[in-house]
Amino acid sequence: MKVIKQLLPGVLLLCVLVLGSVYWFQRDSCDCRKRIDYSNVNLHKDLNRDTFLSPLQEEEYQHILNDWSNFDLGSDSSRIHQRLKVSSNRELIVMSHDKAGQKHYGAIYLPQQFDSTQQYPLLLWANGLNQKDPSVYLTKNRLIEKLLEGLPDYFIVVPSYRGQALQTYYTRYCSDGFFGDAFDGATDDALRLLHWTRENFPAVDTQRLALFGVSRGGTVGLLAAARYPSLNCVVAQSGPTNFLLPIVSRRYGKQYRYQFLSKEAPLSILREKIIKSSPLFFVDHYPGDLLLIYGKKDWVVPISNGENLVEKLSDKPNLEFVQLEGGHSAGYTQQSIRWIQEHNRKSF
């Protein structure tokens, strides 16, 4: 017994080291991480930015609206990979949906004490962008934990966008596609996952659909609002809103070039991608309730992004604009959850 007690600390330390090694090995061996390649970021280095990023033209605007109106929300196939019991009496479903040979993974948390004969509201959580770590973590993610705690009767839907890994319990699911399609492309993936969830779970109350996104997720939320008016309410925090500005291209530098200018394509196609990633031009199409949150000391996404939106939406009666004293990581999660509970209700 004495020998066992002496050996126990060493055994525990060894277990921690082994688990830690497995975790870090999986992080470093992530296929999504390996795909990020900056070798072409100077592909269009001789581009005249001021000319290329000139103001939006009406024919460009109408072409994009027409393109979005013909967007196919359906998937060619789908598969459920895991069903897990998680805390708070919920089931977590990890699935994938395929479109044109591209596979994208998503997570769906069922409501607590789920009863398939009942109707439940749904929240889509749009995650932010980490250029060095293309992952969305379902474990030890405090924000997702707060959503699960604060919205116990909700479906919580979490997409992993193209080129991004979905991480859960030492398993990584790496979605296909170019990680630089981080805004309009990510919105495609989010909307397809939302549509799949609606189609496969009749218990989703289609009149109570909400979206909450921070940083890149805030931009995805605004783009989704413009493209998917069935969303009842949207919370968009700290999201860039207009990439069609030379000053913005300079602010984000290498990351901007990677996302928008690292592909061999006609300049008209590259420019269209930039416009499609800029919700400022389109969010006035959204009829639902909208909460905008920006930090006064945010040097990553300046508060001017929110101010420009508010100016654009000056006639929108169901808009709220919160200006926080902090920066890009300023909190407001609990207040946002309460706002969602209040505003994601049926209209009758």
Q: Taking a C-beta distance cutoff of 8 angstroms, is the pair 120, 203 a contact?
A: yes
Report residue 337 as tokens: 């959850």
Own/partner long-range contacts of 319-323 (Cβ < 8 Å, ≥24 apart): 319/289, 319/290, 319/292, 320/290, 320/291, 320/292, 321/292, 321/294, 322/291, 322/292, 322/293, 322/294, 323/294, 323/295, 323/296
Strand 90-99 relative to strand 77-86, pairing: antiparallel
In a domain, 128, yes or no: yes
In a domain, 184, yes or no: yes
pLDDT tens for 35-74 read 888 999 999 989 999 899 999 999 999 999 999 999 999 9
For residues 296 and 304, what is the distance between their CA atoms, to the nearest angstrom? Answer: 9
Average pLDDT over residues 320-324: 96
pLDDT tens for 220-274 read 999 999 999 999 999 999 999 999 999 999 999 999 999 999 999 999 999 999 9
Q: Which residues pair with 290 in a beta bridge?
A: 234, 319
In a domain, 284, yes or no: yes
In a domain, 104, yes or no: yes
Local structure of residue 283 (DSSP, 8 states): G
For the chain, the domain total comes to 1
Question: What is the pTM (predicted TM-score) of this model?
Answer: 0.90
Closest CA to 237 of 300, 291, 181: 291
Segments forming the whole domain that contains residue 101? 2-343
Report residue 158 as tokens: 């979490």
Q: Taking a C-beta distance cutoff of 8 angstroms, is the pair 180, 259 a contact?
A: yes
pLDDT tens for 279-315 read 999 999 999 999 999 999 999 999 999 999 999 999 9
Strand 171-174 relative to strand 102-109, pairing: unpaired
Q: Taking a C-beta distance cutoff of 8 angstroms, is the pair 54, 70 a contact?
A: no
In a domain, 290, yes or no: yes
In a domain, 348, yes or no: no
CATH number for the domain harbouring residue 180: 3.40.50.1820
In a domain, 137, yes or no: yes
In a domain, 53, yes or no: yes
